[in-house]
């Protein structure tokens, strides 16, 4: 059980970090929008840190809030593989801004990202999950925020 949870945690952390790398690349590729993408990059790195810390702290106590993680390891790995492939492709051949931003929305709506998002907005779960929500604060709703940003930029 803990080995399965460790693999899910590792894959979730990898996906969050890859998303952060993607947003850092977007900040470099689209400097006029760098502040927006750097903010999301930091949030993704925070998500990775939160999941990792929660795992290290609460798994030994049997209190890890599983709602944070997509239970489908293959889905997590596939999503991360898709992001890593896009990173390599976008570094070589930067996409049109709209295409890049649509990819970001698709990423945020992927299974792994949605589990974290759902855990942050649902008003149910353990006391530990409530603490995670407080620590996470407003680092959520990425897909909605990216869509709104696209609209502001005339890319919607």
Per-residue pLDDT of 88-143, as tens digits, reads 999 999 999 999 999 999 998 886 767 777 776 776 667 777 777 776 665 567 77
Query: Which of these, 10, 23, 24, lies nearest to 108 by C-alpha position?
Result: 23
Enumerate the H helices of 33-126 as residue ranges.
34-58, 73-92, 97-108, 111-121
| Ranges of each domain in the chain | 2-152
Distance between CA 147 and CA 105 in Å, rounded?
7
Express each pLDDT in 8-57 by its tens digit: 999 999 999 999 999 999 999 999 999 999 999 999 999 899 899 999 99
Query: Which of these, 97, 103, 105, lies nearest to 30 by C-alpha position?
Result: 97
With contact defined as beta carbons under 8 Å apart, do 139 and 46 qualify?
yes
2-152: CATH number: 1.20.1260
Enter the tokens of residue 61. 């106590």
With contact defined as beta carbons under 8 Å apart, do 67 and 118 qualify?
yes
How many residues appear in the chain?
Answer: 156
What is this structure's pTM? 0.87
């Amino acid at each position: 059980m803990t080995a399965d949870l460790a693999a899910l945690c590792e894959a979730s952390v990898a996906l969050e970090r890859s998303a952060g790398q993607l947003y850092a690349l977007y900040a470099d590729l689209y400097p006029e929008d760098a502040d927006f993408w750097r903010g999301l990059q930091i949030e993704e790195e925070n998500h990775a840190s939160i999941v990792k810390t929660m795992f290290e702290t609460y798994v030994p106590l049997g209190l890890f809030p599983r709602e944070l993680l997509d239970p489908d390891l293959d889905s997590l790995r596939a999503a991360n593989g898709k992001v890593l492939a896009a990173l390599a492709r976008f570094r070589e051949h930067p996409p049109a801004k709209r295409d890049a931003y649509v990819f970001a929305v698709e990423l945020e709506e992927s299974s792994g990202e949605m589990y974290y998002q759902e855990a942050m907005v649902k008003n149910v779960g353990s006391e530990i999950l409530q603490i995670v929500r407080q620590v996470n604060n407003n680092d959520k709703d990425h897909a909605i925020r990216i869509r709104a940003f696209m609209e502001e930029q005339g890319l919607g």
